[in-house]
Amino acid sequence: MAIPYAVAALNLAVAVAGLWTRHKLGWSLYLIASLAGFILIGATTPITAVLTLITVASN
């Protein structure tokens, strides 16, 4: 049970670290997508959220 939370924490740490690069807009959008996916459907990364939504939509 701790592994998904560790992956989510690492994902958020990488997104926050990316805010100090010259691609601030892209990293901030990634951070927002990560937080929204984790809060709404429990996905640890935006890619996982997209795969979950595709699976749900196809059924």
> Cα dihedral sign for 40, 45, 46, 50?
negative
Query: Residue 7 — very low, low, confident or very high, per pLDDT cuts 50/70/90?
Result: confident
With a cut of 70, say whether residue 1 has pLDDT above it: no
Residue type, 9: A
Domain boundaries, the chain: 2-58
Site of tokens 């959008």: 29
Q: pLDDT, tens digit, for every residue of 12-54?
A: 999 999 999 999 999 999 999 888 888 888 888 888 888 888 9
- C-alpha 8: how far from chain center: 7
What does the alpha-carbon distance between residue 39 and residue 59 come to, in Å, rounded to a whole number?
A: 23
- C-alpha 46: how far from chain center: 4
Predicted pLDDT of residue 12: 92
